[in-house]
Amino acid sequence: MRINRHLPLAVPICISFFSVLLVGYIFSKPASSDIEIAIPLGLPPLEAHQRPVKRQVELGRKLFFDRRLAFNNTNSCAMCHIETQGLTSNQSATAIGMEGRSLNRNAPALYNVAYEKTLFHDGRETDLAQQAWSPLLSSLEMANPSIGSVVDRIRGLEDYKGLFETAFDERGVSMETIGAALASYQRTLLAGNSRFDQWYYGKKAGALSDDEKHGFEVFAGKGSCATCHTIGEKSALFTDGNFYVTGIGYHTAIGAGSRVSKVQLAPGEFVEIKHEDMETYSAPRLNDIGRFAVTLDPKDRWSYKTPGLRNVELTFPYMHDGSLSTLEDVVEFYDKGGYEHDGDRVLQPLGLTAKEKADLVAFLKSLTTAEDKAKHSPYR
Binding site for ligand HEC (CB under 6 A): 75, 77, 79-81, 95, 97, 103, 105, 107-108, 110, 113, 116, 119-122, 128, 131-132, 135-136, 141-142, 182, 186, 223-225, 227-229, 244, 246, 248, 304, 306-307, 309, 312, 315, 318-320, 330-331, 334, 360
Distance from C-alpha of 14 to C-alpha of 89, rounded to nearest angstrom: 59
Nearest distance in Å: CB 265, ligand HEC: 21
Rg of the chain taking only CA atoms, in angstroms: 25
Of the two residues 59 and 331, which places its CB atom closer to ligand HEC in the complex? Answer: 331
Of the two residues 13 and 283, which places its CB atom closer to ligand HEC in the complex? Answer: 283
Of the two residues 187 and 195, which places its CB atom closer to ligand HEC in the complex? Answer: 187
Task: Count Cβ atoms below 10 Å from residue 234 Cβ, excluding itself.
Answer: 9
Residues 6+ apart with CB under 8 A from 139: 98
- Nearest CA-CA partner of 86 in 243, 309, 301: 309
Nearest distance in Å: CB 22, ligand HEC: 41
CA distances from 290 to 10, 137, 202, 225 (A): 71, 21, 38, 21
Task: Count Cβ atoms below 10 Å from residue 346 Cβ, excluding itself.
Answer: 17
- Asked if 307 and 299 touch (Cβ cutoff 8 Å), the reply is no
Of the two residues 105 and 195, which places its CB atom closer to ligand HEC in the complex? Answer: 105
- Nearest CA-CA partner of 113 in 310, 314, 293, 322: 310
- Asked if 243 and 237 touch (Cβ cutoff 8 Å), the reply is no
Of the two residues 107 and 190, which places its CB atom closer to ligand HEC in the complex? Answer: 107
Distance from C-alpha of 344 to C-alpha of 61, rounded to nearest angstrom: 45
Of the two residues 27 and 281, which places its CB atom closer to ligand HEC in the complex? Answer: 281
